[in-house]
Amino acid sequence: MHQNPLIMSTPPSITSDDPYTLNTEDWGRTRYADAFARQLERVSMRVDGTIGDTLIFTEHEPVFTIGRHKNAEQHLKWTRELLAHNGVEVELTNRGGDITYHGPGQIVGYPIIDLNSTKDLHRYLRDVEEGVIRTLQPFGISAERRPGLTGIWIGKRKIAAIGIAVKQWITYHGFALNVAPDLAHFSGIVPCGITDGTVTSMQQELGSAPSMDEVKYTLAVEFQRIFAMYAVHVDEQTQLA
């Protein structure tokens, strides 16, 4: 199966003397279980210091993933027969959140970020949301948060889901941005357990889909800018010590 390479192996720095680099990897099309195992490998490598902060991109084969939220499995609507007919797998996962869909045409981002300098999971979640919001802006999409809910919204239309986890203050799991997935697959679940909203995509909002590589590049640049601030926090702590 053909896999498009990422445009750049490393996004440009904010300034010429910016000390922070967010590495990027593009895994192409993956099965969810395989990607999860590879994530855990990267987490161990980040703990050991053998890799730096890394943003992983992938597109999953069609799958419903069930998070740690209580009774999340009850929001799966399709029978085994319908799942098989539509070629959609089901996977239990240890990320936060409810049930969601991943599939081709959706950019899944897995930031492997060291939070030991802040140990602030709430800030990290808000920063992941901010990275996606900023990414959508140059494409002409004005998105926002909804009070009390995670993810990124255009009114009551959800365009990106977010579910995170940490191990030894190294992050994994992440976000799923709908560029041009088959939205009909979301009918097999109550997406994220939310009943007063719908799901949308960049393609649906714009009338045509931007290229996946262009969106990945923009995500990499925006996440680089946001997480460079964590490096600034480390420098400030060093100066105070």
99 and 190 in contact (C-beta within 8 Å)? Answer: yes
Evaluate if residue 50 carries a pLDDT over 70: yes
Reported pTM: 0.86
Q: Report yes or no on 18 lying in a domain.
A: no
Least confident interval from 116-120, 204-208, 215-219, 236-240: 236-240
- Does residue 14 sit within a domain? no
Looking at the structure of the chain, the number of domains it has is 1
Question: Residue range 207-232: average pLDDT?
Answer: 93
Q: Which two tokens stand for residue 45?
A: 């490598």
Beta-carbon contacts of residue 87 (< 8 Å; ≥ 6 apart): 62
Predicted confidence at residue 238, as pLDDT, reads 36
Q: Output the DSSP codes for 150-162.
A: -SEEETTEEEEEE
* 192 classed as catalytic: yes
Active-site choice (6, 55, 133, 192):
192
Q: How confident is the model at residue 193 (pLDDT cuts 50, 70, 90)?
A: low
| Alpha carbons 176 and 102: distance in angstroms, whole number | 7
6: in domain:
no
Q: How confident is the model at residue 3 (pLDDT cuts 50, 70, 90)?
A: very low
- Answer whether residue 3 is part of any domain: no
pLDDT single digits (tens) 140-175: 999 999 988 889 999 999 999 999 999 999 999 999
**Within a domain: 235:** yes
The better pLDDT of the pair 134, 4 is held by 134
What pLDDT sits at residue 14?
41
pLDDT number for residue 9: 41
pLDDT in tens, 119-130: 999 999 999 999
104 inside domain: yes
User: What is the CATH number for 198?
Assistant: 3.30.930.10
Per the CB < 8 A criterion, the answer to whether 141 and 205 are in contact is: yes
Give the pLDDT of residue 27.
97
Domain assignment present for 9? no
Whether the per-residue pLDDT at 21 is higher than 80: the answer is yes
Residue 221 vs residues 19, 34, 42, 102, 218: alpha-carbon distances, Å: 15, 27, 21, 23, 5
Cβ–Cβ < 8 Å for 107, 204: no
Q: Is residue 16 in a domain?
A: no
C-alpha torsion 143→144→150→155, nearest 10: -70
Mean pLDDT value across residues 8-30: 71
- For residue 21 the two structure tokens come to 């680099």
pLDDT in the model for residue 99: 87
Domain containing residue 191: 23-240
